[in-house]
Amino acid sequence: MTTSVQTLASGPTTAATMANKYKVAGVKGQEAPKPLNRCFMHMMGPYANGKSRLAQSCETGFVINADCNPTTNDHPLAEIWPVPDSTGMMVDGDGNHIQLNWLLVRAMIDRLVKMQRDGVQGLPTTVFLDSLPSLLTMSCRWSTWRLIRDAEARKSPNQQDKFIMDTYSPDLVTVPDMKSLHGMTMYGMAYDEVADAMDCLTRVGYGVVPITHTIMKEKEKGRDSKGEVIIEDVPALTVSEAMAGRYKRSLDFAYIVRHTTGQIAEWTKTEDRVVKQGGKEKIIPGKRIQKTTETDQCEITTSDPLWGQFLIRRAGLPARIILTGDNAWSQFEEVYNS
């Protein structure tokens, strides 16, 4: 048997020798800020209070319109998919009628991810999920269909290929007995589907903004001296804690959006008048008049005692930010970068 002797290099190990030996390619001593449009952030707020309006004002945004709502802005800057046509049916970018479901949403997300990996130019920077509860409903239907398909396949092994090949339809999800399909398994599958989609987008560099609604929920606090139940209103979201827990720790920050109104003062001037005095013309300058008009505003809250458990405040951001107009997102960027 032949033996060989290996000689080990001696001497101090420096960063240069480590890099040469192990091909280390890290960054040291260099600031790496994250732009607003590349952040993973949770947008919350009451129903019909400006969340979609803010999302549609992002010029480099891509809005997945899971709520199937019409546009909220007069001149939306973001790319929106899908949108309703004059008949109320949803259409894609080519004008084709579609029935939105989870498979179509996931196919669009996978397409965005692939284009980003392929280095396609001019892609959106931020993907808005409007809204997360609607996506979860679609995902639950898809997960239920998968469970139904697998259950039927177990009953009839010879028909397994048929159930796998059948076209998915969100209408075929009425389940009278969820226990037989392991309902909690269905919810877990649905949550994982949506969380994985968001994770795939963030890993290739997209900013991701899931949008959810805030509500006040009745909760039993206890009983009074007469034994009557005491009910109190507590803040809550329209997604379960199980779903929120799947992405909350990865968030860069979370904030609440509310609609407010404000006043804008505009100065106008009346026209100059020409009058005759003593046979001569005299110009009387017009008067300056202040006109006050009400305008819609978007208020972003990053710190609130009532909703503190849901908020994640980014360092340096003020507790309250007021935005106006159809370019509200660009104003948000200015505050973020300042």
Q: How many domains does the chain have?
A: 1
- CATH value at residue 326: 3.40.50
Backbone angles phi, psi at 79, to 5 degrees: -85, 130
The one-digit pLDDT tens for each residue of the chain (338 residues) are: 555 555 555 555 555 555 565 555 666 666 667 899 999 999 999 998 999 999 999 999 999 999 999 998 888 999 999 999 989 899 998 889 998 988 899 999 999 999 999 999 999 999 999 999 999 988 888 777 777 666 666 665 555 444 443 445 555 444 444 445 555 677 888 889 999 999 999 999 999 999 999 988 888 777 777 777 778 888 889 888 888 888 888 999 999 999 887 655 566 667 777 777 777 777 777 776 666 667 778 899 998 989 988 998 876 789 999 998 889 999 999 999 98
**pTM attached to this predicted model:** 0.77
| 241 domain-assigned | yes
| 152 domain-assigned | yes
| 175 domain-assigned | yes
| 285 domain-assigned | no
The answer to whether the CB of 112 falls within 8 A of the CB of 48 is no
The answer to whether the CB of 125 falls within 8 A of the CB of 206 is yes
| 9 domain-assigned | no
- How many helices (H) and strands (E) the chain has is answered by 8, 13
| 258 domain-assigned | yes
Alpha-helical segments (H) within 222-310: 241-244
The domain of 232 spans 33-269+297-337
| 78 domain-assigned | yes
| 263 domain-assigned | yes
What's the rounded Cα separation, in Å, for the pair 330 and 157?
57
